[in-house]
A and B are shown apart, each in its own frame.
Chain A
Amino acid sequence: MLTAIFSLGGIGLVAAVALGLAAKRFAVEVDPRELAILEALPGANCGACGYPGCAGYAKALVAGEIDANQCPPGGAAAAAKVANILGVEVAIREPEVAVVLCQGDNETASNRYRYLGLTDCVAAQKLAGGPKVCPGGCLGLGTCARICPFDAIEMTPKGLAVISREKCTGCRKCISVCPRQVIRMAPLKTSVHVLCNSHDKGALVRKYCQVGCISCHICEKTVPEAYVIEQLLARVDYDNAGNAGAAVDKCPTHCIRDFVAGYPPGSSYPPAVVPVKSDAA
């Protein structure tokens, strides 16, 4: 009995001493704050902060290179935790989501040619500017949906990209790959958008899309502070969009949509809920 205790104890002691010496010899400096910050971050490694993955962001934070509110997926909650760990103040950024400014799917928008090739919007765009007649419309081949790290984008059966306001964290990866620049950021608090990206004249737009903006100015006349017409395309002024919903029914081509009433046709997402002001993303 005693032999057993002494033998095991002896082995343990030898091991402990050896490890203790090795720990001194092979010590590596790791800032414990980095690990704590890494815990607080969402861990999606999306790169929206501009650093290689969450670990890169954590390192930069500890080095003091960057503000603590640069992680859109983490939102205000993570920013607050990080600020706590670092002992700094941080300004809360307004949550933003990405919106696809187009409703022209295979049924409502026409094509110049039949595209048979790599199912990728960037590849299709290289072939004479893409199969869609509309120069700004969504090509519907799913490049954005594939790259979204949060699974927030779906392709409708008729070939239109739709982004879920609930799942989008504002990391902007979809914007970086879209060859048509049809995805834009908008504040989460606004749910009304003009879903068109074509600057062509109304008569021309009518020819190639049933739901495009024809810059008739009716929305601007209805709610002057909420709508701006720039280069033959209407858009919501997100800073004054409180009453924008009043123009939704007035638009003759139905290209203005309030996501609270529902997502574009074909989408499986339930109607959006506009968040109450105090909630964070």
Chain B
Amino acid sequence: MRQMTFAGGVHPPDQKQATAHKPIEDCPLPAEYVVPMAQHIGAPANPCVAVGDRVLKGQVIGEARGFVSVPVHAPTSGEVTAVEARPHPAGSSLPAVVIRADDEDRWQERPAVEDLAALEAEDIIDLIRRAGVVGLGGATFPAHVKLSPPPEKPIDTVILNGVECEPYLTADHRLMLEEADRLLEGVAVLQKIFASCRVVIGIEENKPDAIELLNQRCSGRDVEVVPLPVKYPQGAEKQLIKAITGREVPSGGLPMDIGVVVQNVGTTAAIADAVLRGTPLIERVCTVTGAAVREPKNLRIRIGMPVAHLVEACGGIDEDPGKIILGGPMMGIAQVDLAIPATRGTSGVLLLREQDLPLRQEGPCIRCARCVQGCPANLLPTTIAAYGRLDRMEEAEDYRALDCIECGCCSFSCPAAIPLVQTIRYAKAAIMARKRSG
């Protein structure tokens, strides 16, 4: 019998014990929200409000640009105090809309849909787009694009990603336990878009309670729950597809090329809100944790909330963090300080102490090939990085640098502490720049 897993991968320590059992808490509302226009893959939104405007919760404050883009909505009601560049988790200062909250937190009109069956697939996808739904697993890819494959690429399998393979993060776990209803409503919407397809929920075996609960709730519906062996990065799209269906996404291709669509469980729940309740995506679950945080929690946060505020809501800093990461420790982005806003992609805030960090000096490559063993994309990280360092980008491309999913398994396993992912990212950027300039 085929093993339900993928080649390569590593086993970082789980570190989920601090928050796995803690129910989701609503984060207290701050006085000011800084809402970036770039919260998704694709063209950033264009601000469509001006200083002094009053906005309602859920009102569009940034318009989508082009097909691979979504609108951005106000996370609360209040007054726009600035439309300017502000520090962004990506590292530079990017355009954002700053809103000073009034105390009303009033929604704008949210049209509900009573009868899902009456809607066409196109209408559903349009509702999803207008609600600004993006992948909440961390990639923030616009959901409506993923759900609109061209007719020559028929979909026969929809996979819901409840794997949450990153250490420390427990947001999706708690969502599956506490909001299974929303999740299953979302499944129904997806089943309406992709009629007669197989629906599978993939969950790693380190979440037995979620597996059991969903098994019960899904019996009788046309939904399978598949427990998967714990290995990072099982939650990466291509690896998840390989484990569950045995199919491989072709190099340079997309899951829709082999008839599969993958959506994060959080995204699926957001889809339910968007379609059935006319609710735009302004909220998500985020795990704030790490040894430097006093009380790690799973918070329900809104976009635009300052990260410093989230940390305050968790009892503040226990000791000065050596490292601040937005996302998970494997693929998250390190931050210089806490003066950045939360976005749709903020699945986690990690405050790690300096003594917990493996700070080592880089040494020479000893050809141990642990990076090759660990690579889930079947690449040769050491060779790609070596060519990248020598600025030989053509050879780096020949060794399939562009297929790298930047999961971090190579850097994690390297005994010489060589910055493999950074070098490969550098090479990828150089290759793409060369392609663009022709």
Q: Is A–B contact present in the complex under a CB 8 A cutoff? A: yes
Given contacts A116-B359, A118-B389, contact A128 B336 (CB under 8 A): yes
Chain B residue with Cβ nearest A122: B426
Chain A contact patch, size range: 10 to 19
In this assembly, does A159 line the interface, its C-beta being within 8 Å of a C-beta of chain B?
Answer: no
Is A280 interfacial (CB 8 A cutoff)? no
Please provide the chain A residues from 141 to 157 with a CB less than 8 Å away from any CB of chain B in the complex: none
CA distance A123 to B423 in the complex (A): 8
CB of A117 within 8 A of CB of B336, answer: no
Name the A residues within 8 Å of B334 (CB-CB).
113, 127
Given the complex of chains A and B, what is the CA–CA distance between A126 and B429 in angstroms?
Answer: 11
On whether the beta carbons of A127 and B91 are closer than 8 Å, the reply is yes
Contact with A along B414-433 (1 / 0, CB 8 A): 00000100110010010000
Interface SS of A by simple majority: loop
B426 touches A128 (CB 8 A): no
Shortest Cβ distance from residue B371 to the other chain A in the assembled complex, whole angstroms: 15
Contacts of A123 in B (CB 8 A): 422-423, 426
> A127: which B residues are within 8 A, CB to CB?
91, 334
| Chain B residues within 8 Å of chain A by Cβ, number | 12
- Residues from 303 to 349 in B contacting A, C-beta threshold 8 Å: 334-336
B251 within 8 A of A: no
- Are B359 and A128 in touch, CB under 8 angstroms? no
A116 closest partner in B (C-beta): B359
With a 10 A CB-CB cut-off, give which of B91, B92, B359, B429 has the most chain A CB atoms. B91
Measured CB to CB, the closest approach of chain A to B399, in angstroms, equals: 18
Q: Which residues of B contact A166 (CB under 8 A)?
A: none
In the complex, are the beta carbons of A129 and B92 less than 8 A apart? Answer: yes
Contact B419 A126 (CB under 8 A): no
Closest to B391 in A: A147
Q: Which of A116, A117, A120, A128 contacts B91 (CB 8 A)?
A: A128
- Return chain A residues, CB-CB under 8 Å to B389: 118
Q: Are B359 and A118 in contact (CB under 8 A)?
A: no
Q: How far apart are the CA atoms of A32 and B389 in the complex, in Å?
A: 39
A binding-site residues for B, Cβ under 8 Å: 112-113, 116-118, 120, 122-123, 126-129
* Interface, chain B (partner A; CB < 8 A): 91-92, 334-336, 359, 389, 419, 422-423, 426, 429
**Interface contacts beyond A113-B336, A123-B426, A129-B92: sample of 19 additional A-B pairs, CB < 8 Å, sorted by A:** A112-B336, A113-B334, A116-B359, A117-B419, A117-B422, A118-B419, A118-B423, A118-B426, A120-B426, A122-B426, A123-B422, A126-B91, A126-B426, A126-B429, A128-B91, A128-B92, A128-B335, A128-B336, A129-B91
